[in-house]
């Protein structure tokens, strides 16, 4: 009795779950699809779901730009910034979490607020990037 | 025995804590104080990159100019709207989706990955993706859908710039909320839900009195982290609308950017930066107090 009563809501939940998931994911799916289109197909009206796939765009990207150079820059920056932030943040988070003093709350407030200011206002934008990791580490160690 | 050991032990530990903490504090001080002092200094100067003859102490004229500028109030309002709008959508939708993806159904693991996937896309890429592939009035997919059902396609970014930017940013941040809230829902004791169900609580009562209170901690964390990032949203606006049409989608971060790097008015931009820092600190004070109370309770 119970199984028959439960089946219908379960199917409905599955349907809604998949519908929402596909709707949220759809732009990314379309981006991947467009990557394999020719320039004409990409801006056709109405947009094609069925087309002749080509690797031309991928060829163009690697031929025109030094793609690996930019990739290396991105990876290099994020690894270095995360490494520095971990180096500074883990000890700080450890001592704040296990030996909180009178000023811990205030220090934390100030650390957080440095993340909130519009970085373009400082004209020294790149400098503050490690802060965000310090803050997230702090959160994760919160007892 | 523990009590007898405590006093000397405690002192050495306190010292150790200071050694651990000080590098982070000192570097963060240097890293944040130097830009802050420079910004303060420039904000009282006449300093324009394209007019070297204009120099010297400006007094508060940069501030007067900024605060009497209608664009400033407009961008302040946009900043608040963006933060609140995206928070409402991502937290509200996040709670509902977290409960949805906690249910058992076929292919749940894959569906979860699909929902969380937008979070791993760079802001610039997702803004371009929405602008060109989804919402473009001529070859956008959404426009094609609208035409298919007989509606006139809308040039979203021209007619509803702020709402569209909010939608794009919400699309980026909803997965984050789902991720955090889903783990929180999963940590809820199953027997507690079962007991409530046996006592005759319906799905809505269970959601309201068991799941929501359990999620409150995770929700405050999501609100805090998202506020920090949403106050400084820049890439999405820069890529899609460049703050326009006019200043319709300009927020504080973009206003300061356009003052400094499009109008080359370093003094005015610095004044904007100082005002933004003051606003950020007020919000931070409120937020951290509320969050700390919630987390320690």
Between residues A5 and A59, the one the model is more confident about: A59
Between residues B19 and B220, the one the model is more confident about: B220
* Percentage above 70 pLDDT, chain B: 92
A27: which chain B residues are within 8 Å (Cβ-Cβ)? 118, 126, 129-130, 133-134, 171
Beta-carbon contacts below 8 Å between A and B: 198
B25–A92 C-beta distance less than 8 A: yes
Would B67 be classed as within a structural domain?
yes
The number of domains in chain B is 1
Same domain assignment for residues A139 and A84:
yes
Whether residue B166 has pLDDT greater than 90? yes
Between residues B174 and B275, the one the model is more confident about: B174
When the pLDDT of each residue in chain B is averaged and rounded to a whole number, the result is 82
Do residues B44 and B269 make contact, with C-beta atoms less than 8 angstroms apart? no
Domain CATH for B275: 1.10.3720.10
B44/A contact by beta carbon, under 8 A: no
Q: Which residues contact B3 (CB under 8 A, 6 or more apart)?
A: none
Rg, Å, chain A Cα set: 25
B174/A contact by beta carbon, under 8 A: yes
Q: What is the pLDDT of residues A61-84, one digit of tens each?
A: 888 878 888 888 888 888 888 888
Measured between alpha carbons, how far is A36 from A51 in angstroms, rounded to an integer? 9
Q: What are phi and psi of B206, to 5 degrees?
A: -65, -40
State the pLDDT at residue A113: 65
Same domain assignment for residues A54 and A85:
no
A32: which chain B residues are within 8 Å (Cβ-Cβ)? none
Would B6 be classed as within a structural domain?
no
Q: What is the pLDDT of residues A94-128, one digit of tens each?
A: 777 777 777 777 777 677 666 665 554 444 333 33
A114: which chain B residues are within 8 Å (Cβ-Cβ)? 28, 31-32
Buried residues in A77-116 as b, exposed as e (16+ CB within 10 A): eeeebbeebeebbbbbbbbbeebeeeeeeebbbbbbbbbb
- Token pair for B109: 């693991």
Range of the domain at A54: 1-64
State the pLDDT at residue A134: 42
Measured between alpha carbons, how far is B144 from A20 in angstroms, rounded to an integer? 20
Do residues B212 and B141 make contact, with C-beta atoms less than 8 angstroms apart? no
- Helix (H) and strand (E) counts for chain B? 14, 0
Would B282 be classed as within a structural domain?
yes
The closest of B74, B281, B164 to A121, measured between CA atoms, is: B281
Do residues A21 and B114 make contact, with C-beta atoms less than 8 angstroms apart? yes
Angle at B31 between CA B25 and CA B35, to 5 degrees: 140
The closest of B133, B149, B96 to B240, measured between CA atoms, is: B133
B27/A contact by beta carbon, under 8 A: yes
Whether residue B176 has pLDDT greater than 90? yes
Same domain assignment for residues A89 and A55:
no
How close A130 gets to chain B, by Cα (Å)? 9
Same domain assignment for residues A77 and A52:
no
Would B21 be classed as within a structural domain?
no
Same domain assignment for residues A56 and A89:
no
Question: To the nearest 10°, the Cα dihedral for B266, B267, B273, B274?
Answer: 160
Same domain assignment for residues A126 and A99:
yes
Same domain assignment for residues A47 and A77:
no
Whether residue B264 has pLDDT greater than 80? no
Q: What is the pTM of this model?
A: 0.79
Question: Residue B141 — pLDDT band, cuts 50, 70, 90?
Answer: confident
Q: How far is CA B106 from CA A2, B81, B214, in A?
A: 19, 38, 26
Q: Give the ipTM of the model, two decimals please.
A: 0.77
The closest of B90, B111, B94, B109 to B212, measured between CA atoms, is: B94
State the pLDDT at residue A137: 39
A18: which chain B residues are within 8 Å (Cβ-Cβ)? 105, 107, 111
Question: Residue B17 — pLDDT band, cuts 50, 70, 90?
Answer: low
Q: How many CB atoms lie within 10 A of CB B263?
A: 13
Would B30 be classed as within a structural domain?
no
Same domain assignment for residues A11 and A56:
yes
Do residues A121 and B39 make contact, with C-beta atoms less than 8 angstroms apart? yes
Same domain assignment for residues A77 and A114:
yes
């Amino acid at each position: 009795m119970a199984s028959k009563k439960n089946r219908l809501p379960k199917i409905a939940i599955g349907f809604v779950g998949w519908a929402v998931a596909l709707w949220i994911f759809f732009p990314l799916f379309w981006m991947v699809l467009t990557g394999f289109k020719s320039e004409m197909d990409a801006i056709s009206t109405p947009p094609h779901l069925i087309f002749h796939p080509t690797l031309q765009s991928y060829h163009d990207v690697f031929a025109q730009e030094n793609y690996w150079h930019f990739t290396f820059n991105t990876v290099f920056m994020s690894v270095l910034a995360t490494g520095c932030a971990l180096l500074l943040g883990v000890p700080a988070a450890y001592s704040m979490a296990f030996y909180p003093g009178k000023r811990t709350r205030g220090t934390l407030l100030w650390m957080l607020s440095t993340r909130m200011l519009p970085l373009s206002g400082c004209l020294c934008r790149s400098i503050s990037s490690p802060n965000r990791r310090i803050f997230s580490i702090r959160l994760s160690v919160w007892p | 025995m523990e009590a007898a050991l405590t006093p000397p032990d405690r002192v050495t530990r306190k010292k150790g804590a200071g050694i651990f903490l000080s590098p982070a504090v000192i570097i963060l001080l240097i890293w944040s104080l130097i830009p802050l002092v420079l910004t303060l200094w420039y904000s009282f100067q006449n300093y324009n990159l394209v007019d070297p003859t204009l120099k010297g102490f400006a007094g508060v004229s940069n501030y007067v100019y900024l605060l009497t500028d209608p664009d400033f109030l407009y961008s302040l309002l946009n900043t608040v709207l963006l933060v609140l709008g995206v928070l409402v959508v991502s937290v509200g939708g996040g709670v509902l989706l977290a409960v949805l993806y906690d249910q058992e159904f076929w292919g749940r693991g894959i569906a979860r990955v699909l929902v969380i996937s937008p979070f791993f896309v760079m802001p610039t890429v997702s803004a371009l993706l929405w602008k060109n592939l989804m919402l473009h009035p001529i070859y956008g997919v959404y426009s094609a859908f609208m035409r298919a059902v007989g509606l006139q396609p809308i040039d979203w970014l021209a007619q509803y710039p702020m709402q569209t930017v909010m939608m794009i940013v919400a699309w980026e941040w909803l997965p984050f909320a789902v991720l955090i809230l889903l783990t929180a829902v999963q940590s809820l004791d199953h027997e507690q839900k079962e007991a409530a169900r046996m006592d005759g609580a319906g799905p809505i009562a269970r959601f309201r009195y068991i799941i929501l209170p359990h999620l409150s901690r995770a929700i405050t964390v999501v609100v805090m982290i998202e506020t920090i990032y949403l106050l400084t949203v820049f890439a999405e606006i820069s890529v899609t609308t460049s703050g326009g049409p006019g200043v319709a989608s300009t927020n504080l971060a973009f206003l300061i950017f356009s003052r400094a790097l499009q109008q080359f008015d370093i003094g005015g931009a610095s004044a904007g930066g100082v005002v933004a820092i003051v606003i950020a600190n007020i919000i931070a004070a409120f937020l951290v107090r509320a969050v700390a109370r919630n987390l320690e309770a």
